[in-house]
Amino acid sequence: MMSKEEPHFEVLDGYPADVLAIAAHGRICRADYEDVLIPEFEKKVRNEGKVKMLFLFGKGFSGYSVGAAWDDAKFGLLHLPEMAGLAIVSDVDWLRLGVKTFAPLIACPVALFHISELEEAKQWIAEWHDDEERGPEVAADHKLPTLEDMG
């Protein structure tokens, strides 16, 4: 059994069948993708078709190894067509900035939430439906502020 200090992805229960909810703990490494995330995602795709994902990067998350960062990019590129929505929950500044930067390039709705907004994130990912074709977008209430707004 893995201790709480060891890095890993934890699959979270209590979500609809088409949602894969993952919490990241510690410094995520390549094995976390290969042993947990990729097999769980592929199983959801086989059972549900398109999959909505919720990632929780809480206080115990400390970053990615180089191999995990590569696997994250590769996973995103290879599996984008199978994603119906993506909710990221984190207070980590560099991670939030990365999501805001790349969200417009992702071909499914992406919403970014703070840890204090976890319940809103759960509701957003559970209630959102793939009823229509959509292009890349970011939830309007979670967009990167314009330069004028950053004052």
Q: 32 lies in a domain? A: yes
What is the Cα–Cα distance from 57 to 100, expressed in whole angstroms?
15
Per-residue pLDDT tens listing for the chain (151 residues): 444 446 589 999 999 999 999 999 998 888 888 889 889 999 999 999 999 999 999 888 988 877 776 667 767 666 678 889 999 999 999 889 988 988 888 888 999 999 999 999 999 999 865 544 444 444 444 444 444 444 4
Angle between helices 66-79 and 38-48 (to 10 degrees): 10
Q: 147 lies in a domain? A: no
Which structural domain, as residue segments, surrounds residue 102?
8-139
- The whole-number pLDDT of residue 2 equals 43
Q: 149 lies in a domain? A: no
CA 64 to chain centre: 14
Q: 146 lies in a domain? A: no
Strand order in the sheet with 51-64: 8-11, 19-28, 51-64, 83-90, 109-113, 137-138
Q: Say which CATH number the domain at 30 has.
A: 3.30.750.24
Nearest residue to 141 via CA among 100, 111, 117: 111
Q: How many domains does the chain have?
A: 1
Give the H or E element holding residue 67. Answer: helix 66-79
